[in-house]
Amino acid sequence: MENMESIYRRILMIKYYHKYLLLLIIIFAVGVKGQDLGLVLPDIEEYQLNNGMRILISPNYESPVVYINMQINIGKIDNPKDMPGLGKSVFSQLKNATKIYPKKGQLENKLYSLGNSSGSFGAYSFDDYYSTINHICLKEDTKDCIEIFSELVRYPTFAFSNKFWKKLTQIWAPKEIFGNRWNSTMIHVNYMFNGLLNHFNDFKKYSYTSKQEEEWFNKNIRPENITLMISGDINYIYIKKLVNDYFGDWKSDFPMPKIVDYNINITENSGINVQFTSIDDAREARIVLRKKTTDLNDSWNPAMQMAMFIFYHNRLEQVKQNIDRAGWIGWGWQQSNRMPYTEIIADMEYSYLDRFYSELIYQFEDVSNNTITDEDLKNAVITRTNDYQNKTYNPKELNDMVQYYYNQNGYSIERVAQLVDDIKAVTLDGVNAAAKKVFDPNNFVMAIAGNKDSCATFLDQFPNIEYYERAEEIRTSASSP
């Protein structure tokens, strides 16, 4: 005789497959009429624990794995302004040791035993305005995996933090380790964009006391700031029980910290602001050009998304072709209400710098003059629609997509399900207006790192540049844009 869990699972599977049978019928019926469906999300149960922690559960029985994604709405932007690096220092220590895994290497060995070949999490990152921990495990290891997540955010012991030896290491480490092109450009562009400050090396963060670190942890790593999403081969009742067992009685007795205020320094009249870091042995220049998208706490509108999608897949590709595909050129955007921006990143041979920049500005100017066509928009909508829909069939990609919009942008699950309908409703006039706003060729910040002599001709076209030496800390007293 089947036990209750087996019966419940059978009922869920029937419900699951009936849903997709119905979907196939709808697709066929709508296809006959020549219309398209919107985004069809799998079942996602959303609820909140009494402590304010948000939980999302989505079953997928096509593979025997469970994907766990924890998003914490805390990042570098939540450091006290006079303590850059404090949050990252705390976050990096969470996985050192916990109440159940108190000895060095125990947590790493546990991850090995769960099938991870490197003894690490799928993702463990402390970013500008949010943090992520995720992991994939077999169904039979679900309990152990959820326990690990609970240990990290509830019971870290901050062990093995021998700051004396770490300070010595930082003192004697060559500055080339810290003053690299990546650090130089990203730290500078963050500061120019909104005043977010970080140190180049970790020496100063080791000056923070254990009391300061634990206080930051207790105030910020708390259930109200966390969303946990679990998807894959799971049983609703069992997962809800595990979540309640490991997180239900968690609460913070500390007052919520005041949100650190930042403004976006790019305005309609701020112009082009450049900071250059001299790295004599750099064989190429690194450029990060960042532009404003929306105002703080404004909605990220679909027309803006489509304008950027078209620019990066059409116009930036044209830039690459026109400079003989020299170097490497990438792009990205952050659809966050706390730090919204888009940026272009390039590693460029010195001899191509002028051509790259002039081609890029030409495309900015062109796309700002209502040159996006109806064909451009139609192709972008099809591509973006397929991308969204494809993500719903993979537990990891589903988790990542839902958490991105739900957590970082404040969308409800119902709002996430409207993503495809939103972009289908974008008009040509709307996307051209958005392109004009985002790709204004006269307002952005740009950080460059490379050999000063090799960049001299290129830099001559910018009248006001702040010059830095390798690993030189940001001069916060300098006038910001």
Q: What pLDDT is recorded for position 64?
A: 84
- The conformation of residue 408, written as its DSSP 8-state character, comes to I
**In terms of domains, do 196 and 123 share one?**
yes
Same domain, 170 and 319: no
**Residue 476 placed within a domain:** no
Q: Which residues of 193-216 are buried (b: 16+ CB within 10 A; e: fewer)?
A: bbbbbbbbbbbbbbebeeeebebb
The residue-averaged pLDDT of 435-456 equals 97
Strands of the sheet containing 285-292, edge to edge, are 328-334, 341-348, 285-292, 444-450, 272-278, 465-469
Average pLDDT for residues 355-377, to the nearest whole number?
Answer: 97
Classify residue 262: in a domain, yes or no: no
Q: Give yes or no: residues 326 and 422 share one domain.
A: yes
Instruction: Answer yes or no: is 155 within a domain.
Output: yes
User: Does residue 311 belong to any structural domain of this protein?
Assistant: yes
Structural domain contains residue 426: yes
Q: Which of 231, 247, 263 is the last residue of a domain?
A: 247
pLDDT band at residue 25 using 50, 70 and 90 as cut-offs: very low
Residue 199 belongs to some domain of the structure: yes
For residue range 246-276, what is the model confidence (pLDDT) as tens digits?
999 999 999 999 888 899 999 989 999 999 9
Most confidently modeled of 20-29, 406-415, 444-453? Answer: 444-453
Q: Is the pLDDT of residue 12 over 80?
A: no
For residue 16, the enclosing domain spans 1-35
Q: With 90 as the cut, is the pLDDT of residue 173 above it?
A: no
Q: Which residues contact 261 (CB under 8 A, 6 or more apart)?
A: none
pLDDT, average across residues 185-205 = 89
CB burial of 274-307 (b: ≥16 within 10 Å; e: otherwise) equals bbbbbbeebebbbbbbbbbbbeeeeebebbbbbb
Round to whole Å and give the CA distance between 102 and 156: 9
Domain finish residue from 212, 247, 282: 247
Q: How far apart are CA 132 and CA 111, in angstroms?
A: 17
Angle at 219 between CA 218 and CA 223, to 5 degrees: 80
Same domain as 174, residue 55: yes
> Based on the structure, what is the number of domains in the chain?
3
State the pLDDT at residue 300. Answer: 80
Dist CA 82 CA 145 (whole Å): 36
Q: Give yes or no: residues 76 and 178 share one domain.
A: yes
Which one is predicted more confidently, 2 or 134?
134
Contacts of residue 447, Cβ cutoff 8 Å, sequence gap at least 6: 184, 185, 186, 188, 189, 192, 274, 275, 276, 277, 287, 288
> Residues 221, 306: one domain?
no
For the chain, percent of residues with pLDDT exceeding 90: 68
Let me know whether 186 and 83 are in one domain.
yes
The answer to whether residue 241 is domain-embedded is yes
Q: What is the CATH number of the domain that holds 224?
A: 3.30.830.10
Pairing of strands 272-278, 285-292: unpaired
Task: Look at residue 1 and tell me whether its pLDDT is greater than 50.
Answer: no
Mean pLDDT of 177-186: 88
Please identify, among 247, 280, 305, the residue that sits at the C-terminal boundary of a domain: 247
* Tens-place pLDDT, residues 38-76: 789 999 999 999 999 999 999 988 878 999 999 999 999
Q: Which amino acid is located at 222 in the chain?
A: R
Cα 58 to Cα 71, 232, 395, 402: the distances in Å are: 16, 7, 8, 11
* Pair 191, 287 in one domain: no
Residue 212 has pLDDT above 60, yes or no: yes
Q: Is 17 in the same domain as 158?
A: no
Same domain flag for 286 and 371: yes
- Asked if residues 451 and 280 have their Cβ atoms less than 8 Å apart, the reply is yes
333 & 359 share domain: yes
Please, are residues 331 and 341 in contact by the beta-carbon 8 Å criterion?
A: no
> Which residue is it, tokens 């006038």?
479
Residue 165's pLDDT is what? 66
CB 472 within 8 A of CB 399: no
Q: How many residues does the chain have?
A: 481
Residues 236, 280: one domain?
no
Q: Give a yes or no: residue 259 inside a domain.
A: no
User: pTM value?
Assistant: 0.86
Show the tokens assigned to 42. Answer: 């799998």
pLDDT at 266: 95
372 pLDDT above the threshold of 60? yes
